[in-house]
């Protein structure tokens, strides 16, 4: 599914809750440069086999909130630039994210607001600390 919606700059909303993603391993740049996108519904995405989410939402500059709490990231090894230039993103739910596979969490949020970066990176760091205790 990598690059599937790349550059869909007129796309404003998308509901993909009925997509069967059970066998997907690569979601890199899936929504890259969807600059008008304000709403994405991914509530039933099965991400247990995904290894690459790099740049998945990069350039989604109109996206204000995103709920990825259902994402299983246990096998993901690349999340670099996942939220690059998501300038309007204020609310991001990463409740079940697992960043214990050596993920560079800092590169995930390049180009985002400093406030969002600080909130999310602090949460991920705390999750990592708990996982290693």
Q: What's the CA gap between 72 and 78, in Å, rounded?
A: 14
Q: What are the pLDDT digits (tens) for 9-43? A: 999 999 998 888 999 999 999 999 999 999 999 98
Neighbours of 126 (CB within 10 A): 10
Neighbours of 5 (CB within 10 A): 17
Higher local confidence (pLDDT), 121 or 88: 88
How much is the pLDDT for 7? 93
Higher local confidence (pLDDT), 14 or 107: 14
pLDDT band at 109 (very low <50, low <70, confident <90, very high): confident
User: Which of 2-6, 41-45, 54-58, 121-125 is predicted least confidently?
Assistant: 121-125
**Single pTM value for the model:** 0.82
Average pLDDT, the chain: 83
Query: What is the 3-state secondary structure of 9-65?
Result: CCCCEEECCCCCCCCCCECCCCCCCCCCCCEEECCCCCCCCCCECCCCCCCCCCCCE
What are the structure tokens assigned to 34, written together?
A: 């969807």
């Amino acid at each position: 599914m990598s690059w599937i919606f790349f550059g869909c700059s007129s796309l404003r909303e998308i509901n993909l809750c009925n997509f069967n993603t059970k066998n997907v391993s690569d979601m890199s740049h899936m929504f890259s440069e969807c600059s008008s996108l304000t709403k994405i519904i991914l509530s039933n995405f099965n991400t247990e086999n995904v290894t690459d989410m790099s740049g998945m939402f990069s350039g989604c500059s109109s996206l204000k909130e995103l709920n990825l709490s259902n994402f299983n990231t246990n096998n993901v090894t690349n999340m670099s630039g996942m939220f690059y230039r998501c300038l309007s993103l204020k609310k991001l739910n990463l409740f079940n994210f697992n960043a214990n596979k050596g993920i560079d969490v800092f590169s995930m949020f390049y180009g985002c607001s400093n406030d969002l970066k600080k909130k999310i990176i602090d949460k991920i760091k705390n999750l990592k600390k708990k996982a290693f205790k």
